[in-house]
Amino acid sequence: MNVIQTAIPGVLVIEPKLFRDPRGLFLEHFQAERYRAGGVGGPFVQDNMSRSSQGVLRGLHLQNPNPQGKLVGVLRGRVLDVAVDVRLGSPTFGRHVAVELSEDDFRQLWIPRGFAHGFRVLSDTVDFFYKCDAFYSPADEITIRWDDPDIAIDWGTRDPILSARDAAARPLKEISGLPRYEGA
């Protein structure tokens, strides 16, 4: 596998080795020792999958004070995946990384604790898979407005399909209870 550092330290793109032949393909979707050596957290305690239709935008979500690190990827389809640094005091606070993830190359994105996460579906449907290093805690959930002008994510749409919760989210500058940056 190939691990690529993004513009925000700690947010990593993982490119697995794909083995293709006339029968199809094979890849190692996760291997604890290799991922740990590549800088991906763990241990993972929960796996989730969502299926969404074209035009759906999920996010921006995080948990605090019980944060989750997430290893995300697409099993079928294609998304624009986004991680936003929302750690108070971080030198990259409010900056984001946007990466296309698809079934064509099975790249993954490691989103450390303290980052908000979201994605927009670019294909007809998508099966989106993620491993979490902490359990889901509804009481700790924080939602940030997807189109916050201070974050300035180019989602490629102005009219996504949103959940009621995501549509009602507030901008980052109005959010309290954000995680703190703990240095490198």
Joined tokens for residue 144: 């940030």
pLDDT value of position 184: 57
Please write the tens of the pLDDT for every residue from 49-88.
999 999 999 999 999 999 999 999 999 999 999 999 999 9
**In a 3-state reduction of DSSP, which class is residue 16?**
coil
Is 29 a residue of the active site?
A: no
- Model's pTM, two decimal places? 0.95
- pLDDT of residue 44 exceeding 70: yes
φ, ψ (nearest 5 deg) of residue 138: -55, -35
Which pLDDT belongs to residue 42? Answer: 82
- At the second CATH level, the architecture of 2-18+47-174 is Sandwich (2.60)
The DSSP code sequence of 90-113 is: -TTTT-EEEEEEETTT--EEEE-T
pLDDT in tens, 1-12: 999 999 999 999
Q: Active-site residue among 29, 35, 130, 181?
A: 130
136 in active site: no
Helix extents (H) in the chain: 32-37, 164-167
Q: Please state the rounded mean pLDDT for residues 129-144.
A: 97
Strand 108-111, strand 115-121: pairing: unpaired
**d(Cα 55, Cα 59) in Å, to the nearest integer?**
13
pLDDT tens sequence across 91-115: 999 999 999 999 999 999 999 999 9
Q: How far apart are CA 12 and CA 18, in angstroms?
A: 18
Residues 14-36 have pLDDT tens digits of 999 989 899 998 988 899 999 99
